[in-house]
């Protein structure tokens, strides 16, 4: 197959090649680049492509390391002797065909690196040449070239070497890195990191590497848009003005301030637990807590759901305790495993409430039942649920007793017998209850936390290296997260609207037979079922529709279950939702991706199209909870409309900081810099009820074109 026909094969899947005429491609692939003669003009362009660029970068390193590893492992002279080759005196490496090939490859690698680094209009100049890197890795040919370059540079007027090549003497580290990366490419698990800059004044819009290139973000975990809520930003500005940026130390040394302590009190109250402890992220919270618990509890055994997050897996591994896996959400399997251990053995069941890649929800109540029966402690990760479920946003455990929790308001006392109270009960002695949450997702900040009994929290604070030996979060970040928690605790509207919008997008996908992994949560996993196709779909959405949805591949999901994981927020407009669905539909057609009917014919996959499976699940938020029955659901935004900021929640969030920052009133001050042409995106409003109309016995808000599905027949009034 000639070069061009191999390229045109990719026209269908590559947005860049797809747009270019075949005649142009032919010219580019046959012409040498004027600036990098060892490359074709097309290869030079490919170094700028977000897909090909990183691949070529890896390839160029492979070329270098390939030669370097040969040179490092064998004595080239010895090979020459063995082959009966006796270079004449004074012969240079250039006379050897092997060496020449290596040199040409090295030049090409140099050129690839230089082309990738070159900015438009600037002169080609590799920062650290591949030749030097290879020389450092022990390649004699590159060493010679590097030596020549050094000599030439020494003769030049003002040489400032950017990198000093050291002769390689031992293990070939670079080659090791390249081999490890190659494994990732081979099994399609190599991760591509897009440059996405979410704009505070244009949520959910971001710019890419180019400031002028704006795209819609449909996969962020800033699930409610709290990352730029005006009362959060105002609080952060005020805190920054008063306390500066960094925390100044670890929690134990100079980094334990009133902001940290009051946030912990707030989180304890949110979960109606005695105490809480904040970590620099929830990854760290999980790792530190599980590794500490498992290593301290004598003979502890972990029972871990197979879909648990990497941070929990790492924590359990680091503890050195035994880990028994149970099938995802499978109570029978869990019980059969729990039974095998005596009641006295310390056991911890580690699981999640919302599994973020498939959208399933853990059977919290039933796991608590088993934990009680078999004397286990339950460790519940509510990372993808806090802020999003429950009347105050405390998570799924709170949501399961929605009315009772709502009625209890801000009381710090646990509601006896409620699921939130039962989470993490250890046998029949005193209650020790733990919940894990993050500030980094629905609360739009960063940081993780645990909440539980005073002694449990103090034990982790006193023993967990991941808590003790790291700089604590900056006060402004902590204050922003705190304002966000308070705001969401007192305003349910964002949670309601999010669920309404999620329902709407799922409904539109279902209409077009686009396969969504069924689940009761806010996650919308669109099944693609192939790594390359999922990546191509994501790239096409970005390049052709200005829509950013990251593809999710192995090992985050099983091979063959690759998907586009879509997250909808209360701030996406109806027009944006329609645009997303139609773009996905178009791309499914263009790339020939399986629809639901195709999965049904194929016997189903990842819960999609299974003969005995469910096509849709009852959402966690019922019609009453989303406010469809009493008309309290905020309306879905239309393009040009301002998002609503709840006045009462703003008041409460501001009030929390009065003792430290002084009282504040008047308009919200979300920004401190004057930006030309900036328009406020959000408007502060007191709560409103939409007039209701009657449809088939149930009431829905009366507003034309609001995407609210009619209440389901199962809705309770
Ligand atoms: C279930 C789960 N737990 C913990 C974490 C880590 O949270 P953080 O991003 O706050 O470190 C994640 C991150 O995605 C997660 O999905």
Please report, for the chain, the start and end positions of each structural domain, with discontinuous segments joined by +.
3-62, 230-490, 492-641
| Average pLDDT of every residue of the chain | 82
> What are the residue ranges of helices labelled H in 383-527?
396-399, 402-408, 419-422, 454-463, 465-468, 475-490, 493-511
Tell me the C-alpha distance between 129 and 149, whole Å. Answer: 10
- Give the sheet arrangement for strand 275-279, strand by strand: 275-279, 448-452, 434-438, 376-381, 347-352, 301-305, 322-326
Tell me the C-alpha distance between 667 and 171, whole Å. Answer: 63
Say if ligand 1 is within 6 A of residue 352 CB.
Answer: yes
Prediction pTM value: 0.75
Cβ(24)–Cβ(42) under 8 Å?
Answer: no
Site to substitute for ligand 1 among 311, 361, 447, 521, most atoms within 8 A of C-beta = 311
What is the whole-number distance in angstroms between the Cα of residue 223 and the centre of ligand 1?
13
Residue 67: its pLDDT value, please?
Answer: 46
Name the band, by pLDDT with cuts 50, 70 and 90, for residue 690. Answer: low
**Span 594-623, pLDDT tens digits:** 999 999 999 999 999 998 777 778 999 999
Strands (E), 342-461: 347-352, 376-381, 434-438, 448-452
Tell me the C-alpha distance between 111 and 433, whole Å. Answer: 59
pLDDT at 654 over 80: yes
Query: Please, which residues bridge with residue 682 across strands?
Result: 643
**Span 570-586, pLDDT tens digits:** 999 999 999 999 999 99
Residue 696: its pLDDT value, please?
Answer: 38
* Percent of residues in the chain assigned helix, strand, coil, to nearest 5: 45, 10, 45
Residue 705, class by beta-carbon neighbours within 10 Å (0-12 exposed, 13-18 middle, 19+ buried)?
exposed
Mean pLDDT in residue range 429-447: 80
Strands (E), 236-306: 275-279, 301-305
Name the band, by pLDDT with cuts 50, 70 and 90, for residue 685. Answer: confident
The residue that leads in pLDDT, 150 or 444, is: 444
**Span 361-396, pLDDT tens digits:** 999 999 999 999 999 999 999 999 999 999 999 999
Cβ(709)–Cβ(507) under 8 Å?
Answer: yes
Say if ligand 1 is within 6 A of residue 395 CB.
Answer: no
Say if ligand 1 is within 6 A of residue 283 CB.
Answer: yes
Sole residue written with tokens 């090939």: 101
For the segment(s) 230-490, the CATH number from 3.40.640.10, 3.90.1150.10, 2.60.40.290, 3.40.50.2300 is 3.40.640.10
Say if ligand 1 is within 6 A of residue 356 CB.
Answer: yes
Q: What is the position in ligand 1's atom list of the atom closest to the CA of 285?
A: 11
Say if ligand 1 is within 6 A of residue 309 CB.
Answer: yes
**Structure token pair of residue 432:** 């020790």
Site to substitute for ligand 1 among 219, 286, 555, most atoms within 8 A of C-beta = 286
What is the whole-number distance in angstroms between the Cα of residue 443 and the centre of ligand 1?
13
Q: What is the position in ligand 1's atom list of the atom closest to the CA of 438?
A: 10
Cβ(637)–Cβ(643) under 8 Å?
Answer: yes
pLDDT at 227 over 70: yes
pLDDT at 8 over 70: no
pLDDT at 699 over 50: no
Say which range, 24-28, 33-37, 425-429, 444-448, has the weakest mean pLDDT.
Answer: 425-429
Tell me the C-alpha distance between 612 and 362, whole Å. Answer: 20
Site to substitute for ligand 1 among 305, 309, 358, most atoms within 8 A of C-beta = 309
Residue 94, class by beta-carbon neighbours within 10 Å (0-12 exposed, 13-18 middle, 19+ buried)?
exposed
| Catalytic residue set | 441
3-state SS string over 127-157? CCCHHHHHHHCCCHHHHHHHHHHHHHHHHCC
Mean pLDDT in residue range 404-433: 70
Nearest protein CA to atom 10 of ligand 1, as residue: 282
- The structural architecture, per CATH, of the domain 492-641 is Alpha-Beta Complex (3.90)
């Amino acid at each position: 197959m000639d070069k061009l026909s191999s390229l045109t094969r990719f026209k269908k899947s590559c947005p860049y090649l797809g747009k270019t005429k075949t005649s142009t491609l032919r010219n580019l692939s046959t012409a040498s680049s004027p600036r990098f003669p060892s490359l074709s003009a097309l290869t030079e362009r490919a170094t700028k492509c977000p897909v090909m660029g990183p691949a070529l970068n890896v390839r160029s390193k492979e070329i270098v390391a390939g030669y370097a590893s040969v040179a490092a492992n064998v004595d080239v002279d010895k090979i020459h002797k063995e082959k009966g080759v006796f270079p004449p005196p004074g012969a240079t490496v250039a006379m050897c065909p092997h060496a020449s090939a290596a040199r040409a490859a090295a030049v090409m690698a140099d050129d690839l690196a230089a082309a990738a680094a070159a900015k438009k209009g600037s002169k080609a100049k590799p920062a650290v040449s591949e030749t030097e890197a290879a020389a450092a890795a022990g390649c004699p040919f590159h060493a010679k070239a590097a030596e020549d370059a050094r000599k030439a540079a020494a003769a030049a007027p003002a040489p400032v070497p950017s990198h000093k090549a050291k002769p390689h003497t031992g293990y070939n580290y670079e080659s090791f890195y390249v081999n490890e990366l190659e494994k990732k490419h081979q099994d399609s698990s190599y991760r591509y990191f897009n440059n996405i800059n979410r704009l505070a004044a244009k949520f959910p819009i971001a710019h890419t590497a180019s400031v002028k290139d704006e795209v819609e973000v449909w996969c962020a975990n800033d699930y409610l848009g709290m990352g730029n809520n005006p009362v959060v930003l105002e609080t952060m500005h005020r805190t920054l003005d008063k306390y500066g940026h960094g925390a100044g130390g670890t929690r134990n040394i100079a980094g334990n301030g009133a902001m940290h302590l009051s946030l912990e009190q707030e989180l304890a109250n949110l979960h109606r637990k005695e105490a809480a402890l904040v970590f620099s992220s929830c990854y760290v919270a999980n790792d530190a807590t599980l590794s500490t618990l498992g290593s301290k509890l004598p003979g502890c055994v972990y029972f871990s759901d197979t879909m648990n997050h990497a941070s929990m897996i790492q924590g359990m591994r680091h503890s050195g305790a035994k880990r028994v896996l149970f099938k995802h959400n499978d109570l029978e399997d869990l019980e059969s495993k729990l039974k095998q251990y005596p009641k006295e053995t310390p056991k911890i069941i580690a699981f999640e409430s919302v599994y973020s890649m498939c959208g399933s929800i853990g059977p919290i109540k039933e796991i608590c039942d088993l934990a009680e029966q078999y004397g286990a402690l339950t460790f519940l990760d509510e990372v993808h649920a806090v802020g999003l479920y429950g009347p105050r946003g405390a998570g799924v455990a709170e949501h399961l007793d929605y009315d009772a929790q709502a009625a209890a308001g801000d009381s710090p006392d646990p509601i006896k017998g409620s699921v939130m109270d039962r989470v993490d009960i250890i046998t029949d002695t005193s209650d020790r209850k733990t919940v894990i949450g993050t500030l980094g997702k629905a609360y739009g900040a960063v940081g993780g936390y645990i909440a539980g009994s005073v002694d449990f929290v103090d034990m982790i604070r006193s023993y967990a290296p991941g808590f003790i030996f790291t700089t604590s979060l900056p006060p402004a970040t902590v204050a922003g997260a705190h304002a966000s928690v308070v705001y969401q605790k007192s305003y349910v509207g964002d949670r309601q609207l999010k669920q309404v919008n999620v329902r709407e997008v799922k409904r539109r996908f279902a209409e077009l037979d686009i396969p969504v992994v069924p689940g009761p949560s806010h996650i919308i996993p669109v099944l693609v079922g192939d790594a390359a196709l999922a990546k191509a779909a994501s790239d096409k959405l970005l390049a052709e529709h200005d829509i950013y949805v990251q593809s999710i591949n192995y090992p985050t999901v099983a091979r063959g279950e690759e998907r586009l994981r879509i997250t909808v927020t209360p701030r996406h407009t109806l027009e944006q939702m329609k645009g997303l669905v139609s773009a996905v539909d178009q791309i499914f057609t263009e790339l020939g991706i399986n629809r639901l009917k195709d999965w049904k014919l194929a016997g189903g996959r990842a819960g999609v199209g299974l003969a005995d499976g469910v096509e849709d699940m009852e959402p966690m938020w019922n019609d009453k909870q989303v406010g469809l029955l009493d008309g309290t659901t905020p309306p879905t935004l239309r393009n040009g409309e301002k998002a609503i900021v709840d006045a009462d929640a703003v008041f409460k969030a501001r009030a929390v900081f009065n003792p430290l920052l002084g009282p504040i009133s008047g308009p919200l001050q979300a920004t401190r810099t004057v930006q030309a042409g900036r328009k406020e995106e959000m408007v502060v409003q007191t709560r409103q009820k939409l007039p209701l109309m009657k449809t088939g016995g149930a009431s829905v808000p009366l507003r034309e074109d609001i995407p609210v599905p009619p209440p389901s027949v199962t809705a309770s009034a």
